[in-house]
């Protein structure tokens, strides 16, 4: 667990963190799901999300990465990002699938959550992300700055889409693992926010996601 937490494969869930989030109005705890997998032994198989003290849903290990982008700062780590694009430049070498996978490492990220509407809760989540591009499953010439910009833009779209799907899922379970309610409570003076009041507001809250991605360097032979 310590190894996977340091590698940002799973969220940190010490007793202190879980209890703090459990008793904080407007934020729910998460806990890693540990499974036994035959000869592989013990593995991290997902993240449990809660509403109060009740388990209400699970997200897989892929979604755990996007949860960490919102709630934590990345200082290391790696990720394969699936890019679904019909752009001819990215389809080259991938004619059969029309999909491109970008392998990233040395990932660094920073996120900011801001309340922009008090009456009907609306939030902006801004995520700045940079990484080294290790590999891209396409014959696109990354030595061309325009092509590199295209890859950055498509990765931004893919990450944004996955984060929006994760937020929608957690809202459907009424589990605020992102701490949006805590942000609301801090921004709105005398809100007298309770868990019950926030649950009613959270499921209909609007969340605008913005992702800025840049390649800091590449491990590819250009």
Residue 27: what pLDDT?
A: 94
- SS3 state at 124: strand
Backbone angles phi and psi of 164, in degrees to 5: -65, -40
Residue 38: what pLDDT?
A: 79
- In the chain, the domains with their CATH numbers are 61-218 (3.30.300.210)
Looking at the chain, the whole-number percentage of residues with pLDDT higher than 70 is 93
Whole-prediction pTM value?
A: 0.90
How large is the average pLDDT for residues 182-209? Answer: 94
Which among 81, 89, 97 has a CA at the least distance from the CA of 147?
A: 89
Task: Identify whether the C-beta of residue 57 lies closer than 8 Å to the C-beta of residue 103.
Answer: no
Residue 24: partners with Cβ closer than 8 Å, 6 or more residues away: 179, 182
pLDDT in tens, 110-126: 999 999 999 999 999 99
Greater confidence, 191 or 91? Answer: 191
CA distances from 69 to 75, 95, 119, 126, 141 (A): 11, 31, 27, 10, 29
Task: Identify whether the C-beta of residue 198 lies closer than 8 Å to the C-beta of residue 115.
Answer: no
Greater confidence, 104 or 41? Answer: 104
Residue 144: what pLDDT?
A: 87
Looking at the chain, the whole-number percentage of residues with pLDDT higher than 90 is 56
Alpha-helical regions (H) of 46-113:
61-71, 88-91
Read off the pLDDT band of 222 (50, 70, 90). Answer: very low
Residue 150: what pLDDT?
A: 93
pLDDT score of 93 more than 80: no
């Amino acid at each position: 667990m310590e190894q996977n937490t340091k590698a940002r494969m799973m969220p940190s869930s010490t007793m202190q963190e879980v209890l703090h989030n459990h008793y904080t109005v407007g934020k729910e705890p998460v806990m890693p799901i540990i499974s036994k997998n035959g000869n592989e032994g013990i593995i991290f198989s997902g993240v449990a999300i809660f509403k109060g003290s009740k388990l209400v849903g699970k997200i897989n290990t892929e979604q755990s990465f996007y949860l960490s982008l919102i709630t934590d700062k990345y200082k290391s780590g790696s990720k394969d990002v699936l890019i679904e694009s019909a752009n001819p430049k990215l389809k080259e070498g991938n004619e059969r699938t029309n999909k491109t996978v970008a392998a990233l490492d040395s990932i660094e990220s920073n996120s900011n959550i801001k309340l922009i509407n008090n009456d009907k809760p609306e939030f902006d989540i801004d995520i700045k992300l940079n990484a080294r591009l290790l590999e891209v499953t396409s014959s696109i010439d990354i030595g061309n700055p325009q092509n590199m910009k295209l890859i950055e833009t498509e990765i931004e779209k893919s990450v944004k889409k996955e984060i929006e799907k994760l937020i929608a899922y957690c809202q459907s379970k009424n589990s605020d693992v992102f701490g949006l309610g805590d942000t609301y409570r801090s921004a709105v003076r005398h809100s007298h926010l309770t868990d019950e009041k926030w649950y009613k507001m959270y499921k209909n809250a609007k969340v605008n996601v913005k992702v800025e991605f840049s390649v800091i360097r590449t491990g590819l032979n250009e």
